[in-house]
Amino acid sequence: MNRFGSLVLLLCWASAAQAADWPHRFGPYRNSTTTEIVVPWSGTLQREWHLPLGEGYSSPTVADGRLFVHAKVNGKNEEEVMAFDAITGNQLWKIGYEHKPFESNVGNGPRAAPVIARGRVYAYGITGILTCLDAATGKQFWQLNPLEQNSASIMMFGASAGPLVEGNRIFLPVGGRDSALVALDTETGATIWKSLNDPPTSVSPIMFLPKVEGRGIVRQLVYTSTRGLIGVDAKDGHALWAFPLADLAIGTLPPPTVFGNSILCCSMLTGSIAFELKDVDGQLKPVELWRNPKVTTYFTQNLAGADEKLYVLNATLIPQADIALACLDAKSGKELWKRPKIGLYQLNMIRTGDDKLLMLDDTHGDLILLDTSASEYRELSRSKVCNPTIISPALANGRLYTRDDTGVSCFDLSGSK
């Protein structure tokens, strides 16, 4: 692994969970990267077990041998958080709670994945209810609604941006006047600080630890607002810098992608842009490195790979939805190759420990293993594993957990069979 690939791993904050776990929507490092190796397979992968679930776009997460899911209770204004044995699928516990009526034409179940940190589960519901539970027993420690506390509105498709948990703080995009981003205490849910004026966003904040010349490592949050990216001091919430980024509609910017000391940000209007932070007269300033206006992106997660490559989902919405997988040179933004028509809106990607890409498409429910060392798109394995889905899967301890409109399924990818 070269210096670029190493920085992707080292500069992204890892939670206290074991590396083989998947305690966050985007894995142990929150960047869709894992140390696990997936061996190419032949034929159709066989499902180990399946769990029927209620409605929801919430991704499964895994920690300490438990699988966690969040779903709507069918026919009721209720949601439930459940824990299962990650090997057998046997249910360990389940808790439910009521919420105010909510209806959307794009689904009515929870969207944010449960986050597991230091033996606790943080589940964020579609109406903004944040619940803290004991991961082992399901015992509730506290529950509150930060949206209601801050008089914030709910996006048309519901509260979507899951919490970022680090140490004793929860960072949550709420929206509203002086409360676009809030920091809560993990033990009590009490507000530590709140900051920024901005409507609700569908993107979770990320932790960014770039090495800035003259300053060393500058630890900060990156908040995706409705108008671009904002660097925020995690200690007190004050803004450090801003990078404007126009988009077609409120709340559809994709999450930023960290590669080395730089950030890739994308939108449907501006395409793909990379920048890094510089100290200019004592102030942190984002300095653009390159721009590729042709590689436009919708709400999808992009990925930093090995060998100074970026994998970007190039979206088209008119005359019909379509995405292509574009491989870009991280130094210049130049397109190295492109695979057209690989999905409609979403292609969930995971970078494995040996730098392959494990991908789940949203048109067929196919799982694909990609060889990234090739100079063009080259598949190693492919198998249908679920119905078409945009929900991010979890890869933990040799097993893949997918969620579609019927529930969660488990597949053994350890290569032991």
* 139, part of any domain: yes
Question: Which of 379, 363, 359, 381 is closest to 371 using CA atoms?
Answer: 379
Domain end residue (candidates: 130, 160, 193): 193
pLDDT band at 4 (very low <50, low <70, confident <90, very high): very low
Mean pLDDT of the region 159-168? 94
Residue pLDDT, tens place only, 267-279 = 999 999 999 999 9
Residue pLDDT, tens place only, 333-343 = 999 999 999 99
Mean pLDDT of the region 22-36? 95
pLDDT at 14 exceeding the cut of 80: no
pLDDT at 140 exceeding the cut of 80: yes
Q: Which domain holds residue 108?
A: 56-193
Among 10-14, 172-176, 392-396, 400-404, name the one with the lowest average pLDDT: 10-14
Residue pLDDT, tens place only, 359-387 = 999 999 999 999 999 899 999 999 999 99
User: Comparing 372 with 105, which gets the higher pLDDT?
Assistant: 372
Q: What is the CATH number of the domain that holds 83?
A: 2.40.128.630
Among 142-146, 244-248, 342-346, name the one with the lowest average pLDDT: 244-248
The confidence score (pLDDT) of residue 416 equals: 57
Q: Are 395 and 413 in contact (CB under 8 A)?
A: yes
Domain end residue (candidates: 193, 227, 261): 193
Q: Are 199 and 153 in contact (CB under 8 A)?
A: yes
pLDDT band at 105 (very low <50, low <70, confident <90, very high): confident
The confidence score (pLDDT) of residue 12 equals: 42
pLDDT band at 308 (very low <50, low <70, confident <90, very high): very high
* 50: amino acid identity, one letter: H
The number of folded domains in the chain is 2
User: How many CA atoms lie within 13 Å of 258's alpha carbon, on the beta-carbon side?
Assistant: 28
User: Comparing 252 with 272, which gets the higher pLDDT?
Assistant: 272
Domain end residue (candidates: 193, 208, 232): 193
Mean pLDDT of the region 77-93? 98
Question: Which of 155, 51, 48, 55 is closest to 391 using CA atoms?
Answer: 55
d(Cα 164, Cα 148) in Å, to the nearest integer? 19
* 35, part of any domain: no
* 77, part of any domain: yes
d(Cα 40, Cα 32) in Å, to the nearest integer? 19
Q: What is the CATH number of the domain that holds 412?
A: 2.40.10.480
Report the chain's mean pLDDT, rounded to a whole number: 92
Residue pLDDT, tens place only, 187-227 = 999 999 999 999 889 999 999 999 999 999 999 999 998 88
Mean pLDDT of the region 39-57? 96
Q: Is 360 helix (H, G, I), strand (E, B) or coil?
A: strand
* 104, part of any domain: yes
pLDDT at 9 exceeding the cut of 90: no
pLDDT at 417 exceeding the cut of 70: no
Q: Are 148 and 128 in contact (CB under 8 A)?
A: yes
* 417, part of any domain: yes
* 341, part of any domain: no
pLDDT at 18 exceeding the cut of 70: no
Percentage above 90 pLDDT, the chain: 84
pTM: 0.93
Let me know if 373 is exposed, middle or buried by CB neighbors in 10 A (0-12, 13-18, 19+): exposed
**Which stretches of 53-102 are assigned E, i.e. beta strand?**
61-63, 66-72, 78-85, 91-98
* 175, part of any domain: yes
pLDDT at 83 exceeding the cut of 80: yes
pLDDT band at 250 (very low <50, low <70, confident <90, very high): low
DSSP letter at 198 equals B
d(Cα 232, Cα 223) in Å, to the nearest integer? 7
pLDDT at 2 exceeding the cut of 70: no
Let me know if 292 is exposed, middle or buried by CB neighbors in 10 A (0-12, 13-18, 19+): buried
The two structure tokens encoding residue 167: 């140490």
* 180, part of any domain: yes
d(Cα 355, Cα 265) in Å, to the nearest integer? 22
* 187: amino acid identity, one letter: E
User: Comparing 262 with 416, which gets the higher pLDDT?
Assistant: 262
